[in-house]
Amino acid sequence: MTSGTALTLGPVMFNWPVERWRDFHFAIADEAPVDTVCVGEIVCAKRAPFLAPALPAVVERLVRAGKEVVLASPILVGSAREVADARALAATPDFLVEANDMGMVGLLAGRPHCIGPTVNVYNERSLALLARRGAVRCTLPWELPRASIARLARAETGAQLEVAVFGRMPLAISARCYHARAHGLAKDSCRYVCANDADGMEVQTLDGEPFLAVNGTQTLSFRYLNLVGELAALRAIGVGRFRLSPHALDMVAVARIFRDVLDGALEAGQAQERLRTVAPAAVFADGFFRGRPGADWGAGGADPPGE
């Protein structure tokens, strides 16, 4: 950590070729100023076998670079094989495991673990209960407003709080695969068409307005959360950990921008300009944080850069 803060890189949510996934994490290990990296397939169990051969090398490279490695669990567990895989993950020694559903929370009870942002932690009693069961860190849901984050930060539970500050926001997960259906395929014979969209398949309204992004069984926001201008406010209310979500752009540069702001080496306005350069196609949003519709940007819900 630097200056009492920590940056986390969340798990890759998209279906990237294993070589790209491996090399991405190698670059993060060698170049990115992040403290923690979450790895693992969290969206679709059918993708996990492709990543498995590269996972040991990725973990070894991250550890050698001084990064904390957290093993992320799936958001939705369905089949008996997936349940067995979840039990094996929960029993993994040496690394913290991040629970992304309540079943994994149960499996991890009694040992130190993390709570992912897809577990609904909305109030102090929920956070306290999870902490008593062994949670040492909790990444709050993407949709929480500043007032709720502040109340949770004041709660004396012993669990560290982490807030997502960059990336498309997960909105839903389903047992069905819309990505496959959109291509006229069934989930069981999907041909892994989600691999065609490195940041998710964009969905438009009937009026042709970009609305959502689909990633296999997962629904995401079209717009990218961007709270680089709110880091000081988050620190002021007691948040010390911040999460970036990986996308198909220069995430090393994104991490450096956020790190420089946290270290006081870069002003928020300059950081916004740099983010627009690094992610020119991204449309930014911060509505949830402001207690407004999630797609809003800035005071009064003005259109975000890139619109």
Report the SS3 class of residue 103.
helix
pLDDT 10s per residue in the chain (307 long)? 334 799 999 999 999 999 999 999 999 999 999 999 999 999 999 999 999 999 999 999 999 999 999 999 999 998 899 999 999 999 999 999 999 999 999 999 999 999 999 999 999 999 999 999 999 999 999 999 999 999 999 998 999 999 999 999 999 999 999 999 999 999 889 999 999 999 999 999 999 999 999 999 999 999 999 999 999 999 999 999 999 999 999 999 999 999 999 999 999 999 999 999 999 999 999 999 999 999 999 844 444 444 4
Task: Write down the residue that tokens 């498309």 correspond to.
Answer: 168
- Residues near 216 by beta carbon (within 8 Å), at least 6 away in sequence: 15, 43, 44, 47, 177, 178, 179, 180, 190, 194
* Total-model pTM: 0.94
User: H-helix or E-strand containing 102?
Assistant: helix 102-108
Class of domain 6-169+221-301: alpha beta
CA distance linking residue 14 with residue 215, whole number of Å? 6
Query: Domain residue spans in the chain?
Result: 6-169+221-301
The string over 117-148, giving b where at least 16 C-beta atoms fall within 10 Å of a residue's C-beta and e elsewhere, is: bbbebeeeebbbebbeebbebbbbbbbbebeb
Give the integer Cα–Cα distance in Å for 280 and 298.
Answer: 18
| CA atoms of 9 and 220, how far apart (whole Å) | 18
Distance CA 23, CA 116 (A): 24
Write down how long the chain is: 307
DSSP-assigned states of every residue in 50-98: HHGGGHHHHHHHHHHTT-EEEEEPPS---SHHHHHHHHHHHT-SSSEEE
Phi/psi for 59 (5° steps) reads: -60, -45
What is the model's pLDDT at position 306? 45
User: What's the confidence (pLDDT) of residue 3?
Assistant: 47
Q: Residue 298: its pLDDT value, please?
A: 87
